[in-house]
Amino acid sequence: MGPPRFELGSPAPQALSKKQPEKRFSQKEVDGLVLVEGADLKTLIREDLGSIYTKLRGKRGNISKRAVENVIKSGEAQGFLKYMQVKGTSTLTIRDMLSAMDRLLPEDIFTPEDLEDVETTKYLTRFLQNFFTYLDVKKGVDKLNGYKLSMWRRAIPKPEEGVEEIYPSDKDVVKAFEKCSDSFKPHFKLLAYSGMRLAQLLRVLESFDEDKIVIDGKVARYPLGHISKGSKKGYWMFFPATFVDELRQIGGRSYSYDYLRRELIIGKVTPKRLRKWQANFLVENGVDPQVVDFIQGRATLSIGSTHYFKMTKMATKAYSKVVDRFPI
């Protein structure tokens, strides 16, 4: 007889064309796992790992093989870590999976569509596959945030290999932009300028408030904290100040994720590849990779206020030097 079945979190909307609920996960306990209001997938994972999460990350904030070994040897392993240990998974593989989750999984994953957009590696993919199985088999969970676990499993991103390992050139981006429908050219440009994930961009447009735009010379930025209900420290969406009028025109409009994604797949260019292109474009034009991570929202999410302010200034300055070089 299996464990009792549970649903984690209040139901989310069926499509991103409607506003996201204020409460993602309700305050409840499922087999020892206490969930907090406003949590996202990554917060759920951290809650499951409990106090050992801090020990695993250590002083440097990186999950090491030694840290995993120490936790296991001390008998402190719990939750998902204990599950993988009992399965017989090697310490090195556990470390690689946890490290990939810690580094690559964003803190604004509330729906399967959000997850589908995430850039991944084989170890993040493997982590997600095992974590959802763990929730099903060991915790008796049927749904996350109103979505069946089967939907979450189907949305697990696959590592790009072979033909999928495509990095569009500037010419590819220009060509795709020219072929893009006029109605969606602003969306194409915003993805290219900001390096955002499509699901995140949709939430920005749905809740758009032009009074929140900050203009600093040639650079404009828009706060993202209000759409990231987890512990994420409101990073910014960066774009050229000359794009503000176009943003105002598309702000407030709603589209389904699948519909907009279809409109923005043109030749070699897809929304996910536009994100890769933007990262490469910034680096090739002299922007420090750490600043690129901040611009694309991949920076460490627990940074202090002083460092956050410093990174915002650095990103704005770096972006101002390349803002006139975008090919579209």
Which amino acid, one-letter code, is at 38?
G
**E strands present in 127-184:** 141-144, 147-148
Q: Domains along the chain? A: 6-154 (no CATH), 162-322 (1.10.443.10)
What's the N-to-C CA distance of the chain in angstroms? 59
* Secondary-structure percent of the chain, ordered helix, strand, coil, rounded to 5: 50, 10, 40
Rounded distance between C-alpha atoms, residue 54 and residue 263, angstroms: 42
At 244 the pLDDT is 97
pTM of the model: 0.67
**Does 47 have pLDDT greater than 80?**
yes
Residue entry with tokens 């991570």? 293
Residue entry with tokens 């580094």? 103
pLDDT single digits (tens) 162-204 = 445 678 999 999 999 999 999 999 999 999 999 998 988 998 9
Q: What is the mean pLDDT of the chain?
A: 83
Residue 208, classed as helix, strand or coil, is coil
What sign results for the dihedral spanned by CA atoms 285, 287, 289, 295? negative
Beta bridge partners of residue 214, listed in sequence order: 221
Instruction: Please report which helix (H) or strand (E) contains residue 88, including its range.
Output: none
